[in-house]
Structure 1
């Protein structure tokens, strides 16, 4: 997947170089807040979570069975023990297990004093107050020890972690009702173009509905950002300038779609040059060659292409991981799998391509990938039908059926 060293006579940045430049310019936002753990799902931890207790807090049984002393396990043959009571979860046995004795115990129940081993109920013979056990058991079987999951003083969750449902359970296990998390990123976004019409308005001659703001809204929602939708901005220099100034005064991140190519009415990059600075523009990537990235005062700016598939591809490959870093999340590597293509994939050498594919099992149960259909950067249904990107290197001339290709599942992105 690495295309850093691909020869590129066009002067376009390689995807790796563009990604490196973007990530180098990012600085996480400041600010955090205290939240109840039920409100903290998907938020980024601002400080470490350190265990103040052992989990489990006491030795307990991993099985329904019988608690006894390992000293009473027979080396050969059988042994008969006296049943002296029961231990239930939340209702422990109050006495002590002595030589030749055992206690009926349920999963999760506290191990009685004197006992150090639990035998599964299926592996003993019980009749009245007599329990017969066979040889072949290990001392300490089926016992969960204090602190086995989490120990006092252990750092359980690190800062920068985006909290998952399992993490909420971990926090609850530690008796922690609230956590400190990073504040949400504030993101302003708008589309540019005289041809774009907002939903609910009639289409005029040569006009289309603005789809990019809705895909952007959906992708940003899944990133957990606070959103400021500024609508459609006409292709007028002053209108674009006012929109930039308004957005940069309110948001940590400003995202536009359209207006970043070199057309006469493409004012986004021109305005960015005037009000801020450009760090990245034009990449050896398909779809998504025109991408402007830079600074607008204190805000980070992303100017996405106008074609809908290009906008989505550049968002997932550059903007989403950048938002993670800006929000204080610990960076992670995207999931990329080697999967055989079931059909030929066409491509011309020159740019790294993110073709849209469908990852599925074949008749034999093996994973394969196929094209999701027409691959034009304007064909939004190629994204709607797809569940993955098929990543073809810049030097590649495509792939033949049966060849292994790099596949990036959308499940790891959205």
Structure 2
């Protein structure tokens, strides 16, 4: 199995921009998972591990797009008003085996193979019958209502490129050429845990000093959406030996270790120290908000990401930085998420030199233009803001003030969470 090179995420200590951070992820990371062949029925959401070449044409033969009557356009062109006699019928799976003769036609049903010698079809609702003969309408064009061999897929063409995620439409695409199995990357194995003496799991009895751990549920949902195989390592208490042993063990049989909390500079933030003991921790001092601290490193050749403990910061950092890392490690092709331009429904001041993401709600005005509202408060612990929002508003590092009506970039959650 291919694994990460040692120190592949190493970077200079100075503050870097969000763009530079993403470029480093793209340049340094590579697929680390093995491949396997699986049934097409099991392949939803998986990543194609090789270019897939079409083994046949689709459609394999000229066929009818409608219920109607097949005829020779050359006969129609000479005398559009001439009546036609019906020589037979062609059904899907049961083609007519006769031979075309002048001024005859064949009744044909949708999907049926075009009879030899015929090249055009009139829809059944457009013809008229007179003494058991067919009168065609005026204005028909050559080749009308006929699907040509290979007009959808040509034998030998590349159907899907390596790195494509298989959605329902890709599964149908592969099925249409008769493929029953597909070669895919195995699921990325991710170890997930939170740290903190104050944390407890949902369902447990809480004291006034307890906080229910929401981060692992958020992160597990995102990881599942991205096609990962997730191992929940629960909550680790703030004890250096416990954290160190858990990190070391998780790195042995996972491709990525993902933690929440414990990477700041506080006395009880032991993840940073543990990682320095057993691996390499490269603090990515990224000029962003929310998101500090965001740590990325390695334990041997297993990737490590340490997320902030505040749930909104953890969510935003996962969507914007961990998501592209996971895609790359999983073998998926990376494309920037779709975004919209929208008029700001707010005004705000902002520090220069850092990129910020606001929880936002996109909507369409009566005139059809897009607009973006921001959540009134910016605290990284306010989870209700993520329920209210349907995406993130991105404010560039060079911006210091947003006036109401200024155009801003909106990133929908639907794009960031898949």
Shorter chain as normaliser: what TM range? over 0.9
Rounded to whole Å, the distance in 2 between the matches of 1:38 and 1:346 is 52
For 1:244-283, list aligned pairs within 5 A: 244-283=247-286
Question: Does the 8 A contact of 1:357 with 1:387 survive in 2?
Answer: yes
Question: Does the 8 A contact of 1:76 with 1:134 survive in 2?
Answer: no
Q: Which moved more, 1:160-169 or 1:15-24?
A: 15-24
Question: Does the 8 A contact of 2:342 with 2:369 survive in 1?
Answer: no
Q: 1:218 aligns with which of 221, 236, 241?
A: 221
Rounded to whole Å, the distance in 2 between the matches of 1:343 and 1:122 is 57
Q: Give the alignment's TM-score, normalised by structure 1.
A: 0.93
Rounded to whole Å, the distance in 2 between the matches of 1:340 and 1:23 is 31
Q: Tell me the residue number matched to 2:295.
A: 292
Q: Tell me the residue number matched to 1:162.
A: 165
Residue 53 in 1 paired to residue 94 in 2?
no
SS of equivalent to 1:315: helix
SS of equivalent to 2:373: strand
Rounded to whole Å, the distance in 2 between the matches of 1:345 and 1:116 is 66
SS of equivalent to 2:27: helix
SS of equivalent to 1:356: strand
Residue 108 in 1 paired to residue 95 in 2?
no
CA change 1:77–1:91 in 2 (3 A) is closer
Residue 352 in 1 paired to residue 351 in 2?
no
Rounded to whole Å, the distance in 2 between the matches of 1:385 and 1:242 is 39
Q: Tell me the residue number matched to 1:130.
A: 133
SS of equivalent to 1:78: coil
CA displacement at 1:362 relative to structure 2: 2.5
Q: Tell me the residue number matched to 2:190.
A: 187
Residue 64 in 1 paired to residue 67 in 2?
yes
Question: Does the 8 A contact of 2:320 with 2:416 survive in 1?
Answer: no
Q: How many corresponding residue pairs?
A: 405
Residue 84 in 1 paired to residue 87 in 2?
yes
CA displacement at 1:345 relative to structure 2: 4.5
SS of equivalent to 1:109: coil
Question: Does the 8 A contact of 2:83 with 2:134 survive in 1?
Answer: yes
Q: Tell me the residue number matched to 2:402.
A: 399
CA displacement at 1:280 relative to structure 2: 4.1
CA displacement at 1:364 relative to structure 2: 3.8
Residue 40 in 1 paired to residue 43 in 2?
yes
Q: Tell me the residue number matched to 2:372.
A: 369
Rounded to whole Å, the distance in 2 between the matches of 1:265 and 1:82 is 91
Rounded to whole Å, the distance in 1 between the matches of 2:348 and 2:73 is 64
CA change 1:286–1:100 in 2 (3 A) is same
For 1:371-386, list aligned pairs within 5 A: 371-386=374-389
Rounded to whole Å, the distance in 1 between the matches of 2:131 and 2:290 is 75
Question: Does the 8 A contact of 2:196 with 2:238 survive in 1?
Answer: yes
CA change 1:128–1:412 in 2 (3 A) is farther
